[in-house]
Chains A and B, each alone.
Chain A
C-alpha cells in the first residue's frame, strides 16, 4: 500500500525506463559503490567456485587424454630407443671388424650369421655368403674376437661353418708365450681343450692360444682363446689344459671369411 505512488511509473513505460536509466547512471557514478562491493564479492566468489568445479572437471579430462598420449609417446620412444641401441651396438661391432680387416693381411669376405646349422652331428652356423662371393670349403672364419671355425659346405648364396665348439673340430694351435704346439679340440665341456702340451712346458693361466699356421686351413696368429685351467695327469705325458674361446658363440652376428692371401697391386693388375 505504501508504494501506490509508484504505480503511475509502471503504467507509463517511458517513465519506468527513465527510472532505470537514472538508476544505472547513479550506479555508474558510484562505481564501485561500497554497498555493491560486498554483493559483487559474494557473486564473484560463487562464480569462482563454479569456475573452479568446471576447471577441475576439464583438467581431469585433459590430463587423462594427456596421460594416454604420453603413454603412447613413451612406448614409441622406447621402441625407437631400442632400435637406436641396436644400431649403436652394430656400429661398434662393425667398427671392430673394420679394425680387424685392416690388421689381417689376407683377402676376406664379410658375412652375416643368418642361422644355426641343422646337421645333427656338427655344431655349425649359416652365413649369407656362398660360392658366388668367392667362399669355398675349408676357408677359415673369424670375427673381431678371434677364430670362429671353418667353412664345411657351400651353396651359391650360403655357407655352413663348423665352429670350434664341435666334437669334430681340430685346430693346430700354439701357446703364444712358450710357442709350444698343440691341438685344440672340444669335448662337450664349457671350455676348449688344448692337447699334447708336454708336462715340462710351463703354462700359466691367462696365456693366449693362437693358430699355429702349420695347417693348410688356418693362417698363423689367429686368436683361439686364453688358458683358464692347467692340470697334470700322473700317468700321462701331457698337461690337461682348458682354454676359454675368444669368441662368444652365442653372440655371433658379423664375421669374416678369409678367402685367401691378400694380393699385391701388381698381382691384382695381372689377374
Chain B
C-alpha cells in the first residue's frame, strides 16, 4: 500500500509541476486543461470512490493553497469529482472506462468550479455551461487521454 501511495503522490507532484509550467503555455483564451483533475479521476477509476474523494479533497486543497482562489472550493469540486470517478467508472466497459468517466466527471467538476467562481456575479447559466465549461471539458479530456495512455502502464492497479 505504501508503494502505491507513493506512486500516487509522485503522480500528483508530476501533475502539479506540469500544471504550473507547461499548462500555462497550452492555455487558449480562458480554457486550459486541468491535469490535477486528470490525476484525481485516474486514482478514482483505479481505486474507487474512497480513494477518489480523498485524493480529490487533498489535491484540491493543495491546489487552493497554491492559487489565489477561495480555499475549499477546489477541495469541494475535486472531492466530488474523485467520488464520482469511483462510482461511475464500473458502469463503463474497461477499454473506454477512463474516457467516459473523465468526460462526465470533468463536466460536473468544471460546472461546479465555474459556478463557484462566478457566484455573486451576473453570469448566466448558459454562459457557464456553453462558454466556460464545455470547451474546457473537451480540452481536459483530450490532454487527459494523452496523459492516460502515457501513464497507465506505469501506475500499478493491483489491489491494495
Residues of A within 8 A of B (CB): 10, 13-14, 16-17, 20-21, 23-28, 30-33, 36, 39-40, 43-44, 47, 50, 54
Contact = CB atoms under 8 A, between A and B. Distances in A.
Contact of B79 (A24, A47, A54): A24
B72 interface: yes
Query: What does DSSP make chain B's interface, helix, strand, loop or mixed?
Result: helix
A39 B66 CA distance: 10
Interface of B: 20-21, 48-50, 53-54, 56-57, 60-62, 64-66, 70-73, 75-76, 79-80, 83, 86-87
Contacts of A14: 49, 83
Given A20-B79, A39-B65, A43-B62, 20 more contacts: A13-B48, A13-B87, A14-B83, A16-B49, A16-B50, A16-B53, A17-B49, A17-B53, A17-B83, A20-B54, A20-B56, A20-B57, A24-B72, A25-B76, A27-B61, A27-B71, A28-B70, A31-B71, A47-B20, A50-B20
Nearest to A50: B20
A13 B86 CA distance: 9
A16 B80 CA distance: 10
Majority SS at the chain A contact face: helix
Contact of B71 (A20, A40, A44, A47): A40
Given A20-B79, A21-B76, A21-B80, A32 B71 contact: yes
Contacts of A44: 66
B80 A17 contact: yes
21 contacts: A13-B48, A13-B50, A17-B49, A17-B80, A20-B54, A20-B56, A20-B75, A21-B80, A23-B57, A24-B60, A24-B76, A24-B79, A25-B76, A27-B72, A28-B71, A28-B72, A31-B72, A33-B71, A39-B65, A40-B65, A43-B66
Nearest to B84: A17
Given A13-B48, A28-B70, A31-B72, A20 B53 contact: yes
A50 B19 CA distance: 14
A54 B60 CA distance: 24
